[in-house]
Amino acid sequence: MMNIAPAVPGVRKARPFRLAKLPANSRFVVLPMILSFLMSGVVASIATIRALGLTPDLATSILKAWAMSYAVAFPSALVVMPIVRWIVDRLVEAPGGKG
C-alpha cells in the first residue's frame, strides 16, 4: 500500500524542469501571443481543410497557412487587445463592485 503524505499549504514539490515565470508586465504581450497562436491555428486549419479537402500534403499546407496567418494575427492582436479591454471594462463590473 502506498503511503501518501497530506498536502501542506504553501509548500511545493520540487520540479526539476520547471520554467521560471515571466514578469507580470509581460502579460500584455504574452496573452495576445498565445491567443493569436491558437486561434490562427484553428482558423487556418479549418480554412485549409475546406479549401483543399483531405489531401496527402494537408499537414504541410496547414502549417504554411498557419505561419502566414499568425504573422498577421499576432500584431493585430497587440493593436486590438487594448481596445477590447477598454470595451470590456465598460461592459463588465470590476471585481469587488468597483467601477
Q: Is the pLDDT of residue 13 over 80?
A: no
SS3 state at 52: helix
Domain residue spans in the chain? 26-97
Q: What pLDDT does 10 receive?
A: 66
CA nearest neighbour of 84 among 36, 16, 45, 41: 36
DSSP string, 62-97: HHHHHHHHHHHHHHHHHHHHHHHHHHHHHHSPPGGG
Q: What is the pLDDT of residues 21-57, one digit of tens each?
A: 999 999 999 999 999 999 999 999 999 999 999 999 9
Task: Give Cα separations from 88 to 23, 27, 82, 84 (angstroms).
Answer: 24, 17, 10, 6
Q: What pLDDT does 96 receive?
A: 81
Q: Tell me if 40 sits within 8 A of 66, measured CB to CB.
A: yes
